Amino acid sequence: MAVSVLALCLLGAISENVATQDPLTRFDASLLESLHRHATPTGVAIFILISRIGSPVTMTALAFGGALVLAYRREWTMLGGWGAAFMGAALLDRWLKLTIHRPRPSYAAALLDNQTWSFPSGHAMGALVGYGMLAYVLILLGGGSRKTNVLIVASTTALVVIIGISRLYLGVHYFSDVAGGYAAGLLWLCACIAVLERRLHPTD
C-alpha cells in the first residue's frame, strides 16, 4: 500500500505536468524528435513486434488464459484478484485518457489507424499490471527457489521496460505517457496485491 501511495503521487505529478504543459512536456518533444531522427526500418520492425507483446489483444489472451488455469486449480481468491487486476487496469486507463485528453504525437498516424488519446500509455500500464500479476502468481504458486523468484522478477521488469521503450521508439507515445502508464499500473498492481495478501494471509 505504501508503494501504491508513492505511485499515486508520481501519477498526480506527471498528470499535472502534462495538463499544464510544464517542462516535462518539453523534454517529451525533445526525446521524441531525437528517437525519430535515429529510427531505422529494422528498428521499427523489431519494436513493432515487441510492442505487440503488450497490446490489448495479448493482455486479453493472458487474462483469459490465466483465469482458466486458476479456475482449474480452484484458486478462487487468486482468480478474483487476477480478474480485478486486468479489468481495473483497463477501466483506469480509459478514465485517465478521457480525463487528460492528450493528443498523440504526430508520428503516431503512420502506425495507428484508430488513434485513442495519448496519456497514459495503455501498453505500458497493461504490461506492468498483466505481467506483474503473472510474476506474482508464479512466485506465490510455483514454489520456486529464491534464485528462481529473482529471475522471474528481473525478467518481468525487463519485459515491461522494453515494451515501454518500444512505444517511444515507434513515436506513438511521449515519455510522460509511458511514465504515467507505469505509475498508474504500479498503483493498481500494488493495491491488488495488497488486498490479495490480506485475503490469503489474514493472520499475518
**Would you name the residues annotated as active-site residues?**
123, 173
Q: Say how many residues make up the chain.
A: 204
> What gap in Å lies between CA 195 and CA 123, rounded to an integer?
24
* The three three-digit cell numbers of residue 25, written as one number: 512536456
Locate all alpha helices (DSSP H) within the chain, ordered by sequence. 2-19, 23-38, 41-52, 56-72, 76-100, 122-142, 146-169, 175-200
- Among candidates 204, 201, 194, which has minimal Cα distance to 84? 194
Q: Which of 187, 160, 192, 186 is nearest to 79 (CA)?
A: 192
What is the C-alpha to C-alpha distance for residues 138 and 180, in angstroms, rounded to an integer? 26
> Reduced to 3 states, what is the DSSP secondary structure of residue 112?
coil
Residues 188, 190, 192, 197: what is their CA dihedral angle, to the nearest 10 degrees? -170
Rg of the chain over all Cα atoms, to the nearest angstrom: 18
